[in-house]
Chains A and B, each alone.
Chain A
Amino acid sequence: MNETAKAIPVPTESDEDLTPEQLAAQWEAEAPPSAGPVANFAASLVATVLGIIGIVLSVRLGLGTPSQPQPGLWPFIMSLVITVLGLAQLVVGRKGGEGEKFSRLSWLVLFGAATLIGLVALMPVIGFEIPSLLLSFIWMKFLGGETWRSAVLYSVLVVAAFYGIFILGLGTTIPHLF
């Protein structure tokens, strides 16, 4: 516990003495801006289109009657609900008040997602070790801003630990190279 004592921050910031109301206001100000009307339009449109596709596909499955329901009836009802709600959201949310705007930092997420897809694609081919090593290095160095040295060091340690746990320890059949 003495360890933590050394880490006392210098409480000089002016925001230290906020009342709950001020703190809440500050959180609100710091929160990312909402996604806006265009995003709402796009999202509602996607939902509506998904609903319509669902309606078409479930009609093809056959609806039947309430006393003799066919496989398509329930998905049809749900698709109809999605379509109606999607259209409603186009109107209700036209000013847009929810969600979050994409920022410059959202590119990090795109990059991160791409590395995950890469991992999935490579894992069955060359095992998990090299893709995992690359993924953790990229996430630490380029997405997280670690130094070269710590990124290399920790990536190797992480993959070694996973190898130890999943392959040597638990004996799972995760595709592995070594």
Chain B
Amino acid sequence: MDFLQPVLDGFGVVLAPTNLLYCLLGVVIGMLIGVLPGLGPAATIAILLPLTYGIDPVTAIIMLAGIFYGAQYGGTITSVLLRLPGEASSVVTVFDGYQLAKQGKAGTALGIAAIGSFVGGTIGIVGLTFLAPIVAGFALDFGPPEYAALALLGILLVATISNGSKTKALIAAALGLLLATVGRDVFTGAERFTFGNLDLADGIDFVPVAMGLFGLGEILYNLEERHRAAKAPAKVANVWPSRADLKQSSGAIGRGSVLGFFLGILPGGGATISSLAAYALEKKRSKNPERFGKGAVEGVAAPETANNAAATSSFIPLLTLGIPANATMALMFGALLIQGVTPGPQLVDQHPDLFWGVVNSMYIGNILLLIMSIPLVGIFVKILRVRAAILAPVTALITMLGAYTINNSMFDVVLVVAFGIIGYLMKKFGFEPGPLVLAFVLGSLLEANLRRSLLVLNGDLGGFFGRPISATLLVIFVFVAVWPMIQSLLAKRKANHALVTSTSQKAKETV
């Protein structure tokens, strides 16, 4: 019962009216913005980070989590109705979802996606509930060397799993780590890279960096993508899937949940990869794979279930190890730090209300999503009629004014604009902003633990290999670092599969 008591207390936290309200608010905002093509979950959370300043930590994270999975589902709506994936993890849903919509079964596709998302999300939460305390307990023994190795591995994985050039992603990550050193050195008090600027003496805040790179950078980028105008949406009717459809997709939902859950835990994994993997798995298992791409219900059910399960399970490394597994989780990490909460193995014990409150809010969020998505699809579709030309300045101004309100400082707004322009240029030159943000948020943790380890080990780098866990992590690190070279040699022999490459390219555009 010792284990269950905090879990049950967590429900008490969620069911507090304020938290319920913010959970609802998060899910609705997430769905609304998820429906708009161009701004994915990371951009949405980045733009709305200032909202969380005035409120309680638990409430803030509940709302951000709501935005996150709301945006997942919002992306599905545009995939099915417009053949425009609202965000990267819904790209594969387009193939069968849009075909179903053309056959007049848009409702079925959206209904199956909602049910799949609910099941995947719920299985993810159950897994999270039982797995997270175990992982956290294991990680309690971690010392500085383990943390340094873990952070290094996490950053490397996120950089190498990203689309596009691995070298450029690694450059971005290293740049993020370098940016994190700006300001006063905590060990010696020396000022680094501040150039005598008082605003820089306290270091660069995470929020303006994230708002600039993910938010404003994305808004600027969309200015030139305006020509890809949306078509008018197809008709939505009969949202409840038939019993036959449900029966047909139940296997896909089950497998998608499990696959998504495990892929979501891996650093660099997350929603996008698991949706691709779940689709591929269903197509492979199917007795008649030629149905896929022509309106197979499983082709919608599998990826949508998997991306929600992964979205949920990607909270595990964040909440138990304090290592975000992807860019969106890096934003959650930043948001928690702002609230004075450092995610890590102690979180379950020290802040059980926060830990279980957030976990349990996901049940509520998923139920809200299921309740709202099916009957309210029509309203969300109407959002699509708002012209991008009018939305763009609104989102830009929200970002700028929001940035000001964080510290009442114009300097933060200047940073947002600067990082917005950098973010746009990075995208144009093939550098992904994700690894930079992730590395930036982990930068001080990594440096502090590295220096502490060097003190503990008396400057002996070999000491990292003398401890089993840090040794294992570093061996994996080396393997991951070398693997792309081996892989590119292998790839030169084999012609790339056209579908996979272009799908991930499309995914890249909508992140």
Answer whether A and B are interacting partners: yes
Closest to B389 in A: A144
Annotate B304-340 by CB proximity to A: 1 below 8 A, 0 otherwise: 0000000000000000000000000000000000000
For B413, the chain A residues whose CB sits under 8 A away are: 120, 123
How many angstroms between the C-alpha atoms of A128 and B233 in the bound complex?
A: 37
Annotate A135-172 by CB proximity to B: 1 below 8 A, 0 otherwise: 11001100111100010001100100010001000101
With A5-B235, A8-B235: A35-B397 Cβ-Cβ less than 8 Å: no
Report the minimal beta-carbon distance from A25 to chain B, rounded to whole angstroms: 6
How many angstroms between the C-alpha atoms of A5 and B236 in the bound complex?
A: 7
Question: CB distance B509 to A31 under 8 Å?
Answer: yes
For A35, the chain B residues whose CB sits under 8 A away are: 428-430
Question: CB distance A4 to B394 under 8 Å?
Answer: no
For A113, the chain B residues whose CB sits under 8 A away are: 220, 417, 420-421, 424
With A8-B235, A65-B459, A71-B188: A40-B389 Cβ-Cβ less than 8 Å: no
Closest to B509 in A: A31
Question: CB distance B233 to A7 under 8 Å?
Answer: yes
Question: CB distance B400 to A85 under 8 Å?
Answer: no
Question: CB distance B235 to A4 under 8 Å?
Answer: yes
| Residue from A1, A4, A71, A146 in contact with B390 in the complex, judged by beta carbons closer than 8 Å | A146
Question: CB distance B185 to A109 under 8 Å?
Answer: no
Closest to A28 in B: B502
Closest to A106 in B: B224
For A116, the chain B residues whose CB sits under 8 A away are: 216, 396, 400, 417, 420
Indicate whether B150 reaches chain A with its CB closer than 8 angstroms.
no
Question: CB distance A173 to B421 under 8 Å?
Answer: no
Question: CB distance B293 to A20 under 8 Å?
Answer: yes
Indicate whether B498 reaches chain A with its CB closer than 8 angstroms.
yes
With A43-B431, A140-B393: A86-B171 Cβ-Cβ less than 8 Å: yes
Report the minimal beta-carbon distance from A112 to chain B, rounded to whole angstroms: 5
How many angstroms between the C-alpha atoms of A25 and B503 in the bound complex?
A: 9
How many angstroms between the C-alpha atoms of A30 and B501 in the bound complex?
A: 14
How many angstroms between the C-alpha atoms of A66 and B72 in the bound complex?
A: 45
Interface of B is mostly: helix
Indicate whether B255 reaches chain A with its CB closer than 8 angstroms.
no
For A92, the chain B residues whose CB sits under 8 A away are: 165, 167
| Residue from B177, B293, B393, B450 in contact with A158 in the complex, judged by beta carbons closer than 8 Å | B393
Question: CB distance A109 to B223 under 8 Å?
Answer: yes
Question: CB distance B502 to A25 under 8 Å?
Answer: yes
Question: CB distance A108 to B223 under 8 Å?
Answer: yes
How many angstroms between the C-alpha atoms of A110 and B245 in the bound complex?
A: 49
For A4, the chain B residues whose CB sits under 8 A away are: 233, 235-236, 378, 381-382
Q: Which residues of B385-402 have CB atoms within 8 Å of chain A's CB atoms?
A: 387-390, 392-394, 396-397, 400-401
A-B pair number, CB within 8 angstroms: 240
Report the minimal beta-carbon distance from B363 to chain A, rounded to whole angstroms: 28
Question: CB distance B459 to A88 under 8 Å?
Answer: no
How many angstroms between the C-alpha atoms of A1 and B450 in the bound complex?
A: 57
Partner-contacting stretch, out of B11-19, B266-274, B403-411: B403-411
Closest to B408 in A: A173
Q: Which residues of B210-262 have CB atoms within 8 Å of chain A's CB atoms?
A: 216, 220-221, 223-228, 231-237
Question: CB distance B458 to A98 under 8 Å?
Answer: no
Report the minimal beta-carbon distance from B199 to chain A, rounded to whole angstroms: 14
| Residue from B178, B408, B428, B499 in contact with A99 in the complex, judged by beta carbons closer than 8 Å | B428
Question: CB distance B502 to A50 under 8 Å?
Answer: no
Indicate whether A103 reaches chain B with its CB closer than 8 angstroms.
yes
Most chain B beta-carbon neighbours within 10 Å: one of A30, A47, A74, A143: A74
Chain A contact patch, size range? 35 or more
For A126, the chain B residues whose CB sits under 8 A away are: none
How many angstroms between the C-alpha atoms of A31 and B451 in the bound complex?
A: 45
Question: CB distance B168 to A21 under 8 Å?
Answer: no
Question: CB distance B400 to A105 under 8 Å?
Answer: no
For A172, the chain B residues whose CB sits under 8 A away are: 401, 404-405, 408
How many angstroms between the C-alpha atoms of A146 and B235 in the bound complex?
A: 27
Question: CB distance B223 to A112 under 8 Å?
Answer: yes
Annotate A18-52 by CB proximity to B: 1 below 8 A, 0 otherwise: 01110111011011001100011011000100100
For B414, the chain A residues whose CB sits under 8 A away are: 120
With A24-B503, A61-B190, A106-B224: A136-B393 Cβ-Cβ less than 8 Å: yes
For B430, the chain A residues whose CB sits under 8 A away are: 34-35, 39-40, 43, 98-100
Question: CB distance B232 to A109 under 8 Å?
Answer: no
How many angstroms between the C-alpha atoms of A7 and B101 in the bound complex?
A: 14
Report the minimal beta-carbon distance from B441 to chain A, rounded to whole angstroms: 15
For A123, the chain B residues whose CB sits under 8 A away are: 404, 410, 413
Question: CB distance A19 to B232 under 8 Å?
Answer: no
Report the minimal beta-carbon distance from A13 to chain B, rounded to whole angstroms: 9
For A140, the chain B residues whose CB sits under 8 A away are: 389-390, 393
How many angstroms between the C-alpha atoms of A100 and B382 in the bound complex?
A: 32
With A5-B235, A40-B430, A108-B224: A93-B401 Cβ-Cβ less than 8 Å: no
For A8, the chain B residues whose CB sits under 8 A away are: 232, 234-235
Question: CB distance B378 to A144 under 8 Å?
Answer: no
Indicate whether A177 reaches chain B with its CB closer than 8 angstroms.
no
Question: CB distance A75 to B458 under 8 Å?
Answer: no
For A120, the chain B residues whose CB sits under 8 A away are: 400, 410, 413-414, 417
Question: CB distance A109 to B396 under 8 Å?
Answer: no
How many angstroms between the C-alpha atoms of A84 and B197 in the bound complex?
A: 29
How many angstroms between the C-alpha atoms of A103 and B227 in the bound complex?
A: 12
29 contacts between A and B (CB under 8 A): A1-B237, A9-B234, A11-B102, A19-B294, A21-B499, A25-B498, A28-B505, A35-B429, A43-B429, A58-B192, A67-B455, A75-B178, A81-B174, A82-B174, A82-B175, A98-B165, A108-B226, A112-B223, A113-B421, A117-B417, A123-B410, A128-B401, A132-B397, A136-B393, A146-B387, A146-B389, A154-B390, A158-B393, A166-B401
**Can you list the 9 inter-chain pairs with the closest CB atoms, starting with the nearest?**
A144-B389, A67-B459, A98-B430, A99-B430, A66-B459, A1-B378, A136-B393, A105-B224, A139-B393
